[in-house]
Structures are given as C-alpha cells and as structure tokens.
Amino acid sequence: MAPHVKGGVAMAMRSARDQWQGKAACRGPQSAAFFPPAYPERKDERVTREARAKSICAGCIVREECLDYAIRIREPHGIWGGLNEVERKQLMDRRAG
C-alpha cells in the first residue's frame, strides 16, 4: 500500500477517535478527577474522586465509545466510560467468559 494511502487510513482513524473525544463531558478542569493525583491518595479520597468522575460519565454522550476505546487499548489507569481500571478488568473477564 502506498504511504499516502496508509497515512490516509491513519488520519481517518485519528479523526474518528478525535470526534468522540471532542464531545467528552470530562474536558476541562474537572478532568483531574479521572486519574489519581501525583501524591498518595487515601481510600476515602479515591472513592470521592471516582464518584465525582463517574457522575460526569453518567451524563456523557460518548460514554459507550469511551469505554470501548479504553477496553480496546487496555488502558490501565483512570476512569473511562464510567468504570475504573478494576471494573474494566472485571468487564473484560466477563466478556471473555
């Protein structure tokens, strides 16, 4: 395949990805709630932070695309599509049967 065609496919894939990410409800300052802070986080802080992030996901119009993406790339950190890393792993295990 000619390089320019490969580039075209890559650009189309990137464009599709960017389209859902551009509609993400977590864009902006609240995005910090979706990943652990740089300092050690107490359990109650994590529970509160994740609940805040999940409440934003609950109203996000691209939740399904986001979760599919995180599962596809096996994202190891953070809240994606309303699930944390442990919940995504459990979902993948259930799907694997």
Nearer to ligand SF4, 44 or 83 (CB): 83
Q: How far is the CB of 39 from ligand SF4 (least distance, A)?
A: 22
**Contact of 54 with 78, CB cutoff 8 Å:** no
Q: How far is the CB of 6 from ligand SF4 (least distance, A)?
A: 28
Q: How far is the CB of 25 from ligand SF4 (least distance, A)?
A: 4
Contacts with ligand SF4, residue ranges (CB under 6 A): 24-26, 34, 56-57, 60, 62-63, 66, 79-82
Nearer to ligand SF4, 49 or 82 (CB): 82
Tokens for 57? 């996901």
Nearer to ligand SF4, 6 or 23 (CB): 23
* Nearest C-alpha neighbor of 85 from the set 97, 71, 66: 71
Beta bridge partner(s), residue 83: 80
Residue 65 CB neighbour total at 10 angstroms: 18
Q: What's 80's DSSP letter? A: B
